[in-house]
Amino acid sequence: MKIVQAKCPNCGGTLKVDSEKEAAICEYCKTPFIVEKAINNYNTTIVNNNTFNDATVFINNDDKKRLSNYLDLSESAYLAQNYKDSFNYSLLVIQIDGKCSKAWDLKLKSGINLANLSINEVREAMINASKGLDNPDGYLEGIASFIIKEIAKKNLTSYVELLKKTNESLKSEYNKKLWEGVGPLFLNPSMEQQDNANVTYFCSYSIYIANLVFIFEYQQIKKVDLVDELLIIFDNFLEIYKLLNERVHIYGRSLSTNATNSFKSTINELKKYLSLEKETLIAKNEKLKKETEEIKEKIETIKAEHPFDGGEYDNKIATLNGEHERLIREKKALGLFKFKEKSSIAKRIKETKHDIAAIDKEKQSSKALFDKENYKYYENESNQLNDLLNQISKNNERIKITTNRILKRI
């Protein structure tokens, strides 16, 4: 065993290490490191405040072998959902090669699952993981989907179900103890302490993963079509707050002021995204309404170019209307008597009225057939109009939903 001085590549703390070992863990920041690198770090000054992000790092063949091995181990551990080992191995890779995109990606994803990366560290990992890639924007879009769908939405949804189940179980157990005369559950210190730890975990982690959303701009979320997930995250986050309150109320307690304020702060931040969504939908609807008016005008123009000729029907109706009015005048001229003549004229008036209605109906049927045959001239425009009206209707419904969320309070 040979003890020598070293410097932690992560926190810069001065350490004493066994030079014969391959790796160790920093006693200050608890980060794993490669012993040889830490010794070199102590003896050599590397630019950029001891980080490798932009420094030129020469990797020898031994380092390449270790890098490949650690990278494989990190990836295998991640796939096995062993996020702790995946995270630690990714750090070892980064110490050898700070420009390894895959290692930064594994650090990011495993670190998020462990909730041991700060928001700034998540941003740093995202930037470094996207460097050197052929499509960095595509990578960041994929990470947005991963964080919002696979982490935030998925975990918060699971927490809601878990809290509902455990809350009912805890309440049942509490009432059972009271009935048996054992005393309130909170008189058992170890049980209370354990449940307080559970509540604290649910509070802190749900707030943490909800805050991961704020790494992304609203436009990024909109671009990857993740606004639906955002609404689910919002609803589940509110539900978790409600369920945690119900849980501590079982003991006659309430959530701490700090926890409540943190929930409120996160809710207000989520509301900002929803407000932007509402404003975007309103602006989009205004644009769509203008488009519908333009298409309506275009359809009317096309119809005017192919008018329906109902002159023949109109002439017949005009003739019958004239006959109808003449018969009415003739009937009035007969005076109070001549009932037989008046009855005959009344019958003819009724028949004339019926004939007018029949010709008008024939005209409408002919026009409907004409319109159907001529629909081809403005079929595309009509379909566009229907699509726009449907989109406006959907947007209006979405505006109601987002407005409802924005007005919710905790």
pLDDT in tens, 322-355: 999 999 888 888 877 677 888 888 899 999 999 9
Residues 142 and 126 in one domain: no
Which DSSP state fits 153?
I
Residues 151 and 245 in one domain: yes
Using the Cα atoms of residue 95, residue 101, residue 102 and residue 106 in order, give the sign of their dihedral: positive
- Is 112 domain-assigned? yes
Per residue in 340-393, pLDDT tens?
A: 888 888 899 999 999 999 999 999 999 999 888 888 888 999 999 999 999 999
Element of type H or E holding 25: strand 23-25
Rounded to whole angstroms, the Cα distance separating 368 from 361 reads 11
- Is 266 domain-assigned? no
Per residue in 183-209, pLDDT tens?
A: 554 445 666 677 888 888 899 999 999
* pLDDT for the residue numbered 306: 86
381 Cβ contact partners less than 8 Å away, ≥ 6 residues apart: 295, 298, 299, 302
Residues 225 and 147 in one domain: yes
Residues 250 and 327 in one domain: no
Residues 143 and 125 in one domain: no
Q: What is the mean pLDDT of residues 28-32?
A: 78
Residues 104 and 183 in one domain: no
Query: Which CATH number covers residue 120?
Result: 1.25.40
- pLDDT(179) > 70: no
**407 or 19: which carries more pLDDT confidence?**
407
Residues 249 and 159 in one domain: yes
- Is 170 domain-assigned? yes
Residues 142 and 124 in one domain: no
Structural domain range at position 85: 53-133
0.95 exceeded by pTM: no
Task: Name the token pair of 290.
Answer: 């203008």
Task: Name the token pair of 283.
Answer: 């602006």
User: In this structure, how many other beta carbons lie within 10 angstroms of the beta carbon of residue 42?
Assistant: 16
Name which of 118, 143, 111 is nearest 130 in CA terms.
143
3-state DSSP: the chain helix, strand, coil percent, rounded to 5? 75, 5, 20
